[in-house]
Amino acid sequence: MPEMPEIPDTMPGAARTPSPESTDAALLHELAAALLDLEPLLGTVSERLRVTPPPELGPGSVQALQTALDALAARLRVPALTIVAPCDELWSVELAVSRRLARALGTVPPETVVRADALAVDDAVRILHAAPPGRPVPLLAHDGTPLRGYSADGADAPTVVMVMACGMPVGLAVPWLRALSGTCRVVTWESRGMFAAGDGPGLPALNGHDLAAQAADVLAVLDGFGIGEAHVMGLCGGAAIALAAAAVSPRVTSLSLWHGDYELGGDAPKTTHQHDIGGLLAMAGRSPRHAEGLHRMMRGPRTLDALRPDVAHHLLHPYASPELMYRYGLLNGVIMGTDCRPLLKEVRQPTLVVSSEQDTTAHPEGSVQVAARLPCATLRMMPHGDHLTAFGAEPGLVRLLSDFILDLRETTERDA
């Protein structure tokens, strides 16, 4: 997305910082954070989305909420939402968006009125953009595909490049961005072709979708942020992309692979989820027409039943339109279908491999096999944690990564 015009620190007039005791300021900040969290989804769905308010709000409060949402959406430059009365007609994305806004509002008294004067809106947006993930930075892949990059600047080196699961919005990476930005510079980006570039309506052209093209995006992100070399952290399918990047470039100085989803032929079993999603991706990637049929199924409210409520709006992103489903079938289909075994013969960088026996999404035996075949790998099987735990940046996981990077840095300095 092209960089947004600069938002001044204040509107004309006296500067004001919201008081922590101000209910209005707190609510506006939470609503602004929710809209920014939803921006990738709102920006790629062509229809205007409807949302339902918390049932306890009275008519006057609902109207004030609509006014606040409109003001914040305009300031954040995200598509607006329309509040409607509770009904059974909302589709899966609208329900997920409604629930995200409900969490932002928390438990509010029926008479609550969200006041959205210009100064308060400006304060909320300014404070929000100062924290990770911030505003997207427009980057270009080597084949000209626009990418949306994000940077959380911290202390001196090292730099960590996060390779997210295919098709996931940056919001899923925020816990790690926040946790690591105090000691590292952390950069990431969103999957090519899956997010509005901001230079016109709809999605940008998808110029390439094979694993080599997606791995080259790691190096394009380094180039775009002026970074020479970095530790590369791959989560879920991002682990395969990280391996592919490390196999071709010494600029990847070390790796960490978290709950990786690997194709290893008959050398490692797969979970039921891996088999099911593999079939779905194969169907979706066959043609836009096949993807459109699958998208109609994904619009049903029951789609949310299998998704964790706090991240459902992120997990739904690749299924939010027929075109997204088609591209997801191509991009993630390649990630899940490309044999990683040849890559394991090429990667020599120190590597931390992390999984858990409780992961029923990506089979942990894949991580065991990857660690066994890499010449400089350390395997850590965590005693607990499902697949989504890897994205939560729990303190124990953050320490594990930080210690790994610190040990490598100290070893390099001793050997220098």
- 292 part of a folded domain: yes
187's tokens: 């950069």
Residues 323 and 351 reside in one and the same domain: yes
**Domain total of the chain:** 2
- Nearest in space to 284 (alpha carbons), one of 243, 334, 347: 334
Residues 119 and 222 reside in one and the same domain: no
- 143 part of a folded domain: yes
Residues 104 and 156 reside in one and the same domain: no
317's tokens: 């992103």
Residues 170 and 65 reside in one and the same domain: no
- 7 part of a folded domain: no
- Nearest in space to 300 (alpha carbons), one of 91, 49, 46, 41: 91
What are the angstrom distances between the C-alpha of 14 and each of 28, 115, 238? 19, 19, 46
Residues 157 and 124 reside in one and the same domain: no
Residues 79 and 151 reside in one and the same domain: no
* Domain closes at, from 102, 129, 156: 129
Return the H-helix or E-strand segment holding 327: helix 322-337
The Cα 325–Cα 290 span in angstroms is: 9
Tell me: the pLDDT tens digits for 282-323? 999 999 999 999 999 999 999 999 899 999 999 999 999 999
Residues 347 and 404 reside in one and the same domain: yes
What are the angstrom distances between the C-alpha of 30 and each of 100, 127, 212? 10, 11, 39
Residues 120 and 160 reside in one and the same domain: no
Residues 318 and 405 reside in one and the same domain: yes
Q: What are phi and psi of 246, to 5 degrees?
A: -65, -30
DSSP state of 9: S
Q: What are phi and psi of 262, to 5 degrees?
A: -120, 145
| The predicted structure's pLDDT at residue 194 | 97
- 355 part of a folded domain: yes
- 61 part of a folded domain: yes
What are the angstrom distances between the C-alpha of 298 and each of 85, 172, 305, 311, 314? 23, 20, 11, 16, 14
| The predicted structure's pLDDT at residue 106 | 83
Residues 256 and 152 reside in one and the same domain: yes
- 8 part of a folded domain: no
CATH at 313: 3.40.50.1820
Length of the chain: 416
* Domain closes at, from 129, 161, 182: 129
The Cα 1–Cα 200 span in angstroms is: 10
Q: Which residues contact 69 (CB under 8 A, 6 or more apart)?
A: 31, 35, 80, 81, 83, 101
Domain of residue 60, residue span: 23-129
| The predicted structure's pLDDT at residue 412 | 75
Residues 184 and 300 reside in one and the same domain: yes
- 108 part of a folded domain: yes
| The predicted structure's pLDDT at residue 115 | 79
What are the angstrom distances between the C-alpha of 338 and each of 129, 210, 237, 264? 38, 9, 11, 8
- 14 part of a folded domain: no
Check if the beta carbon of residue 226 is closer than 8 Å to that of residue 357: no
Query: From first to last of its 416 residues, what are the pLDDT tens digits of the chain?
Result: 333 223 223 323 333 333 333 567 888 899 999 999 999 999 989 889 999 988 888 888 899 899 999 999 999 999 999 999 988 899 999 999 999 999 998 877 766 777 788 888 998 899 999 999 999 999 999 999 999 999 998 666 689 999 999 999 999 999 999 999 888 999 999 999 999 986 656 899 999 999 999 999 999 999 999 999 999 999 999 999 999 999 999 999 999 999 999 999 999 999 999 999 999 999 999 999 999 999 999 999 999 998 999 999 999 999 999 999 999 999 999 999 999 999 999 999 999 999 999 999 999 999 999 999 999 999 999 999 999 999 999 999 999 999 999 999 888 777 76
* Domain closes at, from 129, 145, 161: 129
Residues 113 and 172 reside in one and the same domain: no
Burial label for 86, CB within 10 Å (0-12, 13-18, 19+), is: exposed
Q: What are phi and psi of 133, to 5 degrees?
A: -90, -5
pTM of the predicted model as reported, rounded to 2 decimal places: 0.91
The Cα 251–Cα 123 span in angstroms is: 40
